[in-house]
Structure 1
Amino acid sequence: MEEGSVSVDQIERQWGIINSLCQRRRTTIDELAEEYGVSQKTIKRDLDKLSTKFPVVEYKEGRQKYWSLIPGFKNVPPIIFLPTELYALSECTRFLKSMGEPFLRSTLESINHKIKATFDQGKLESFENLRRIFSVNLSAAKDYSAKREFLGQLFTAASEQRRVEIGYQGLKDDKPIVRKVDPYRLWYRDGSVYLVGLCHLREKIRMFAVDRITLLNLTKENFLIPQDFDFEAYTEHAFNVMIEDPVHVKIRFSPEIARYIEEREWHPSQKTKKQKDGSLLLELTVGGTLEIKRWVLSFGPQAEVLEPEALVEEIRADLENMRQIYAPKIMQKKMG
C-alpha cells in the first residue's frame, strides 16, 4: 500500500466509529478495539485521524480515559434502515458465516457494525421482535471453514481470470485427479458451493464441488471467458445442480398432494394442469433424469411418472431393487 493511502477496511471502521460516537455519549479505546477486532493502537490511530475532521475529544474521569464528540455536534447523517431491512441484512451475514466466512469475513463484519450503528432503542426492540417471530433455518448449508483458503483463492482466480490447478476427487474416483481449470464462476446452490469453468483435462465446461477439491494452486496463466458463455443458459435446465441434456418429464400427483405441488415453483420450466379427479399434472424440462427421479421417489405412491418411458423404466428398476432388499425382512417379521 502506498504511503498515505487508506484501505477500505480503515474507511469502513472509521465510519463506524464516528457513527458509534454519535449514538453513544462516550466510549473507550478498549471497547472499540473489542468491537472491531483490532488492536488498541489501531483504534488510537483511527481516533487521531478522525479528530482532524470531526470534533472528537479525549478526556479523563479518574484513571479512565474516554472519547466522545463535543456536546452539540450535529450527528453524521445516518443510513436509514427499516427494522425488516436490518433483519434481512443480519440474516444474510449469518447465512454467509455459516459457510465458514471464506472470503467475505471483513465485509460481513463491516455490515454488522453498520447495522449496529443505526440502532436506536425503538429499532432495537423491533429488530429483536422480528428475530423472535421469524426464524431462518440454515442447517442444510455445509461448513466451509476447512476450505476457507481454497474459496479465497478461487475468488481471486475468478476475479483476475487466472487459471488454477486443482486436485479433484469425484464421487466415483478412487483418488484425486489433477487438472487445470479456468474458473468462470462460483455458484452457491442448496447448501453447497460449486466451481464452474473450463476443464483442460476434459476440454469442456465442467462443474466441481468445492468440498471435493483436495489441492489448489493459482498459476500465472491468464484466460478469457468466451463471449458466448452464458451462465444462466448453462444452468437453466438443472433441476438441482446436475448439468445434462434436457429431458421433458410429465408427472401425475395424487389429489392428496396436488395442492402442495401446485403451490411451489420446482423449476422455471414447469407447467401444471388440474385434473377432474383432483390430481395434478406437472410438466417440466430438466437436465438428465437422476435428480428428478430421486425427487419423484421421495413422494412414494403419490407421484407417477408418465413420460419419458426411459425414466419410468428407471423407477421400476429401482423399486424392484428396493423390493428385493426389504421383502425378505418383511417375510421374516411375519413368520416370526
Structure 2
Amino acid sequence: MARGDQLTRQWRIIHALIASPHGKSAAELSDALDCHSRTVYRDLEALQMAGFPLYTEQEGGKTRWSLIDAQRHQMPLPLDLTELMALYFSRNMLKVLEGTALFDALSSLFDKVKATLPPAYIDYLEALSRRLAVGPRAHKPYRRFKETLEQVQAAVQSQHHLQLSYWSMHRQSMTQRRVAPYTVWFHDDTFYLIGHCDLRRTVRLFAVDRIERLEVLQSRFEPPADFDAQAFMQGSFGVFQGDPVRVRIRFEPSVAGYIRERIWHPTQTLTPAPDGGLIFDAEVAGLDEIKFWVLRWGAAATVLAPETLRAAVRREAQQMLERYAATAPPASQTAITDRPPPHDRP
C-alpha cells in the first residue's frame, strides 16, 4: 500500500477520534473508512507507536478507542484540536505576505499553535504537508514596503489624512495626492489603499508599493457610514475601476473546461455552445483588465461584445503581429522557441 494512502487513512482516524468524545470502535472506524478492521487495528497501533495518546476502554462488550487528551490540548479560544491542526497546516499558503507585519503576527500565531499541539501531532502534520506542496508564484517583496504598509494601516485606524507621492504606472508620472484612507485591500498578491483622493475628487485605489513618499497629516476625516469596500470592488474584474459594461466572450472547446471550473466574476453566466465551446457573459467595471484576460487565452477567446472591447483586442493583436513580423529571434534561441510547450495551459 502506498505511504500516502496510509497517511490519509490515519489522518481520518485521528479526525474521527477527536470529533468523538466517547471514542470509536474498530468496527465503526472500518465502516467509516471502508476498509478491513485488521487495517484499522494496524493503523491504531502505528499511531500509538508514533506517540499519539490513544487509550481504550470497554463499553457494552466492545473496545472503544479515544484520544486521552483531545480536550486538554486546546488554546483558550473556541478552537478544537482539528481546527488548530488545520491552521498550522495552512501556514505555507500565506508566504505571499512575507515581509509584512501581518505575516510576522501570523508567524507568531503559528509558533503558539505549534507549542500547543502535542509533538506527535506536529510530526504527523509535517508528513502530511509533504503531500500538499504550495508552489511558488509571482508576488511582490513587501519587506521593502513594510513601514509604508504599517503607516497606511495605522492611518486607516486613526482616520488621519495621508499625503502621498504616488507613481502612476498608467501615466508613468509622479503625482501628489491627499487621501482619506478608508481601507486596505489585498488582491492578487498586492496591497491596495482604497480612499477618497482630493486630486480626483472621488474614491480611488493606490498600490501600496508605488507610494514613493508618505506623510500622516494631523487633519482627520470621517469615512462615509455607508461605504462598503466589497460593494465598491464588486464590479471590477480585478482592481481597475470604470463604467459598468456588459461583455460577451466566446471560448473555444479547447479551453472551455478551464473557464467553466472557476468563478471569474460574481455576475458571470456561462452558456454552452453547440460545438462544446462556451459563451461568457458578465457586467464589469471598465475594460482594461478584461482585455488582458481575453488576450491571455490567445486565439481560443473571441470577444462578441461590446465593439469597443473587440476593437481594443484587435489593436493589441495587430501590434503584436507587427512586432513579431518586424523582428526575428537570435539563431541561438530558435531551437528553444520551436520546442513544444512542456505542459498544457494553466
TM-score, reference length from structure 2: 0.68
Alignment RMSD (CA, Å): 2.5
Structure-2 residue corresponding to 1:218 = 216
Specify the SS of the correspondent of 1:305.
Answer: strand
- Whole-angstrom CA distance in 2 between matches of 1:142 and 1:90: 23
Matches within 5 A, 1:1-336: 78-79=74-75, 81-82=80-81, 85-89=84-88, 91-92=90-91, 94=92, 96=94, 98-104=96-102, 107-173=105-171, 175-329=173-327
1:215 is paired with a residue whose SS is strand
- Give the Cα separation in 1 of the matches to 2:143 and 2:110: 20
Displacement after TM superposition at 1:115 (Å): 1.1
Q: What secondary structure sits across from 1:157 in the alignment?
A: helix
Partner AA of 2:121 in structure 1: K
Q: Helix, strand or coil: the match of 2:130? A: helix
State the Cα distance separating 1:138 from its structure 2 match.
4.6
Structure 2 counterpart of 1:11: none
In 1: Cα distance, 2:303 partner to 2:223 partner: 39
Q: Secondary structure at the match of 2:101?
A: coil
- CA–CA distance in 2 between the matches of 1:120 and 1:249? 54
Deviation at 1:85, TM superposition (A): 4.6
> Which ranges of structure 1 fall in alignment gaps of 5 or more residues?
1-74
CA displacement at 1:97 relative to structure 2: 5.2
CA distance in 2, matches of 1:290, 1:305: 14
4+ residue stretches of structure 1 with deviation over 6 A? 330-333
Tell me if the contact between 2:161 and 2:221 (Cα under 8 Å) persists in the aligned partners.
Answer: yes
Distance 1:203 1:273, change over 3 A: same
| CA shift for structure 1 position 228 | 2.8
TM-score by length of 1: 0.70
Contact in 1 for aligned 2:93/2:134 (Cα 8 Å):
no
Q: Deviations over 1:111-163 (max 9, x none)?
A: 12221122223312321122101122353221111111111111111011111
**Using the alignment, how far apart are the partners of 2:298 and 2:330 within structure 1?**
24
Change (3 A) 1:146 1:90: farther
The answer to whether the Cα contact below 8 Å between 2:161 and 2:220 also exists between their aligned partners in 1 is: yes
Contact 2:73 2:116 in 1 (8 A): no
Q: Which amino acid aligns with 1:86?
A: M
Percent identical pairs in the alignment equals 35
CA distance in 1: counterparts of 2:262 and 2:303, whole angstroms: 19
Which deviates the most, 150-159 or 318-327? 318-327
Give 3-state SS (helix, strand or coil) of 1:104's partner. helix
Name the counterpart of 2:53: none
Per-residue deviation, 1:203:
1.4
CA distance in 2, matches of 1:95, 1:247: 34
Superposed displacement of residue 95, structure 1: 5.1
Task: Give 1:288 deviation, angstroms.
Answer: 1.1
Moved more, 166-175 or 148-157: 166-175
Q: Could you say what secondary structure the match of 2:140 adopts? A: coil
Give distance in 2, aligned partners of 1:174 and 1:258: 37
Q: Deviations over 1:51-96 (max 9, x none)?
A: xxxxxxxxxxxxxxxxxxxxxxxx976236545753444534x555
Structure 1 residue 270: Cα displacement: 0.7
Between 291-300 and 117-126, the greater mean CA deviation after superposition: 117-126
Shift of the 299–105 alpha-carbon distance from structure 1 to 2, 3 Å rule, reads closer
* Structure 1 CA distance for aligned equivalents of residues 138 and 87 of structure 2: 19
Gaps in structure 2 of 5+ consecutive residues: 1-70, 332-346
Task: State the secondary structure of the residue aligned to 2:239.
Answer: coil
The amino acid of 2:239's aligned partner reads V
Q: Alpha-carbon deviation of 1:308?
A: 0.5
